[in-house]
Amino acid sequence: MHEDREKIQPGLYLLASKLGWIVTGRTRKTYEEKSETGLLILSNTSSFEISDIETPDQLIVAQAGICDLWNLESIGIIENIETSSDKKAMEYFKETLKFKNGRYYVKWPWKENTPELPDNRELALGRLKSCVARMRKKPDLLTKYDTIIQDQIQKGIVEEVNEFRTDGRKHYIPHHAVITPQKSTTKVRIVYDASAKNNKEMPSLNECLYRGPLLLNNLCGIFMRFRLHKIAMVADIEKAFLQVGLQEDDRDVTRFMWMKDCANTYVERQNIQEYRFCRVPFGVISSPFLLAATIEHHVDMYNTPIAEKIKNNIYVDNLISGCESVTEALKFYSDAKDIFKEAAMNLREWISNSSSINELLPASDKTDALQVSVLGHIWNIEDDKVAVKPCKFTDLNDKTCKLLCFCDASARAYSAAVYLHQTCGQSSRSDLIFSKSRLAPVKEMSIPRLELMAVLIGVKSLIFVKSELNISIEEMYLWSDSQCVLKWISTKKELNVFVKNRIAEIKAHKDVKFMYVNTMENPADVATRGTTASKLKNDSLWWHGPKWLNYDTQNWKNDSFGDNSSVENMYQSEIKREKSRCSTLLCNQIEEENRPPFGIDCREFSSYTKVIRVTAWIQRFVSRMKKDKCSTGKVLTYKELKVAEMNWIKYIQRKPLLRCF
């Protein structure tokens, strides 16, 4: 889009783009007799007129379809797509990153051609007065607020600045208090609002910066690996964002105001002091990217297994990992502390499920809490249980591991559940390690197609879990209770496009074995039909799968299914019908009275409009082969469309009267 904009009438504008002028907005004029809406795009034209726009095809999905729902909440099942802006932000970060006096210093990733940042001092001053007024009745909170700012001044996180001096752009960030009494460390936190703006015409600081690529590790993958270790360990970086330095020429856009004397709660000019950040503040849109990129750059400098483990198991400022012995855990603690210390970061609040490790850790580096939050779930270190009840997997090096997936779908939902199967000698066990369920789309879809989507997501889930666990997986199995889907997978016949594309994607993973299970023994059926929390808690089928999974692999069920007319009908409904040869039809000018125009099967088209247009194109082709006079343009003419439509009308009218003549 270009910056040029022309106002046509109140609410209606012309926007300049690389494709031409685009009409946007809303007119005050309404047309009661027309219920359909449309989009009009004008390109390289000097005038325009109001035109009727035909109703979109009914099969064009306006709401998110079944694939989109999975894509949005895939938890790593799909790959992140890096945008051009992400690439620019990362390149700029690498070009401008500096390491000085034991600390990394970064610059803000500014967008190109952005409007100049406004000097919003009056806005920040107004927000400061409101902030102080709210805390005036809470002197303890006001004192704590002031203590945080004074502490940041002493540590060099912020610095005093003169109101009238600047190193470049100048912008102010309003701030307010957020209270979290349940936290063991920072109960009062100052939040900075970099999205604040004077008015709609003026940009905020966040609007002038690139967000940057998402460099966070997969939450689900971290959590699964966390439960693999015999000794689990958790720590976090103290005030992580404030440990990354901000280069001097980018500091004046992070100005804020505070009172010189906290005892005088009236915000007056002589009692106001301006500050600016010397570090990256939390609340700016680019801050998470800059922190993650800095940590990744620093850890990559250490070519050690522990550095690689840190890189794969850190989420923002939380390190969630583990080891297999006390000696290994202590070395991990020591090396991790040293690595982050080299970047002026303090890895603190260590906690483990091992009492031996907790006793050996220095008091200054550990927390005394018996319950801590791990990725949003409460972890009790005494019994080593997490609130969501994920199973504990230990000593996997001596066991043979397999991944098993069960899939199911109903009219209301579809689901996939993945189990880790461990075998050691004559004993074996299986435990739920990953599951996903979604509501069926509003747009109705047949049960076999929903079952097909469940199998597709099941295959993707298996591949995802295998890649995230980083352990040796001997085999992967997938069970479905849909005989129709399993027949589609095994058939060599040509299938309809929707089914064909998904079957091709499923078959691309040749290391997955497909088997049939009856509905009563399918644990994914629990998710698709629904249950209560009390029943789910003690549902062995859901948490461990069918009992026969504890048997030898050769005795696992792969139920056979006999002839079933309903299944066969559903299976045949997606088999692609062979199209009749039309070469002879194109040569015949007079069609048989019981055949549609050119032998076209209108059931293969998604809309009436498409049938008419295809008929018109064929009619033109036939005319050109016969060297009759016809249009040669790139678009169909009105006359061609009307002739095609008339042919269909005649066919429809003639069809019920054939027996009468």
- The pLDDT assigned to 198 comes to 84
pLDDT above 70 (res 62): no
Structural contact between residues 296 and 214, judged by C-beta atoms closer than 8 angstroms: no
Look at residues 425, 475, 427, 478 and name the one whose alpha carbon lies nearest to residue 456.
Answer: 478
Please give the model's pTM, rounded to 2 decimal places: 0.65
Sketch the domain layout of the chain as residue ranges: 101-215+237-297, 400-579, 597-654
- The pLDDT assigned to 251 comes to 94
* Distance (Å, whole) CA 459 – CA 404: 10
**Domain topology for 400-579:** Nucleotidyltransferase; domain 5 (3.30.420)
Quick one: pLDDT band at residue 438, thresholds 50, 70, 90?
confident
**pLDDT above 70 coverage of the chain, percent:** 84
- For 101-215+237-297, CATH number out of 3.10.110.10, 3.30.1360.200, 3.30.300.130, 3.10.10.10 equals 3.10.10.10
Average pLDDT over residues 229-245: 93
- The pLDDT assigned to 70 comes to 47
Quick one: pLDDT band at residue 34, thresholds 50, 70, 90?
very low
* Distance (Å, whole) CA 38 – CA 279: 49
* Distance (Å, whole) CA 166 – CA 275: 12
Query: Torsion-angle region of residue 50: left (phi > 0), alpha (psi -120 to 50) or beta?
Result: beta
* Distance (Å, whole) CA 304 – CA 323: 15
Q: 335-372 as b/e, with b when 16 or more CB fall inside 10 Å?
A: bbbebbeebebbbbbbbbbbeebbeebeeeebbeeeeb
Quick one: pLDDT band at residue 54, thresholds 50, 70, 90?
very low
Give φ, ψ of 457 to 5 degrees: -70, -35
- The pLDDT assigned to 371 comes to 87
The answer to whether 101-215+237-297 and 400-579 have equal CATH topology is no
pLDDT above 50 (res 254): yes
Pairing of strands 385-386, 377-380: antiparallel
Judge residue 537's burial from the number of C-beta atoms within 10 Å of its C-beta, 0-12 exposed, 13-18 middle, 19 or more buried.
exposed
Structure tokens at 535: 């029943």
Q: Reduced to 3 DSSP states, what percent helix, strand and coil does the chain have, rounded to the nearest 5?
A: 40, 20, 40
Look at residues 285, 296, 301, 291 and name the one whose alpha carbon lies nearest to residue 238.
Answer: 291
Average pLDDT over residues 138-150: 92
CA angle 310, 316, 320 (to 5 degrees): 45
Q: What is the residue type of 153?
A: I
**Residue 562 Cα distances to 489, 521, 571, 655, angstroms:** 17, 18, 14, 41
**Residue 513 Cα distances to 402, 449, 485, 486, 638, angstroms:** 12, 20, 14, 11, 55
* Distance (Å, whole) CA 349 – CA 461: 33
* Distance (Å, whole) CA 376 – CA 378: 7
* Distance (Å, whole) CA 657 – CA 4: 61
Structural contact between residues 260 and 271, judged by C-beta atoms closer than 8 angstroms: yes
Place of tokens 């299944």: 567
Give the E-state strand segments of 90-133 in sequence order: 98-100, 103-106
Q: Which residues contact 130 (CB under 8 A, 6 or more apart)?
A: none
- The pLDDT assigned to 656 comes to 64
- Give per-residue pLDDT as tens, 164-206: 888 778 999 999 998 876 666 667 889 999 999 888 888 999 9
- Give per-residue pLDDT as tens, 575-620: 887 654 444 444 444 445 568 888 888 888 888 898 999 999 998 9
Q: What is the residue type of 461?
A: S
- Give per-residue pLDDT as tens, 287-340: 999 999 999 999 999 999 999 999 999 999 999 999 999 999 999 999 999 999
Q: What is the residue type of 444?
A: E
* Distance (Å, whole) CA 473 – CA 513: 14
Q: Which residues contact 297 (CB under 8 A, 6 or more apart)?
A: 94, 97, 104
Q: Which residues contact 248 (CB under 8 A, 6 or more apart)?
A: 167
* Distance (Å, whole) CA 483 – CA 516: 7
Coil vs helix vs strand at 512: strand
Average pLDDT over residues 538-566: 83
Among 27-31, 234-238, 527-531, 637-641, whose mean pLDDT is lowest?
Answer: 27-31
* Distance (Å, whole) CA 233 – CA 104: 27
Query: Torsion-angle region of residue 268: left (phi > 0), alpha (psi -120 to 50) or beta?
Result: beta
Helix or strand run (H / E) with residue 24 = strand 20-25
Q: What is the residue type of 317?
A: D
Quick one: pLDDT band at residue 651, thresholds 50, 70, 90?
confident
Average pLDDT over residues 344-370: 92
Report the largest interatomic distance among the alpha carbons of the chain, rounded to a whole angstrom.
104
Q: 219-255 as b/e, with b when 16 or more CB fall inside 10 Å?
A: ebbbbbbbbbbbbbbbbbbbbbbbbbbbbeebbbbbb
Give me the count of residues in the chain. 661
Place of tokens 């009172």: 259
Average pLDDT over residues 100-108: 95
- The pLDDT assigned to 129 comes to 92
The three state secondary structure string of 338-369 is HHHHCCCCCEEEEEECCHHHHHHCCHHHECCC
Judge residue 273's burial from the number of C-beta atoms within 10 Å of its C-beta, 0-12 exposed, 13-18 middle, 19 or more buried.
middle
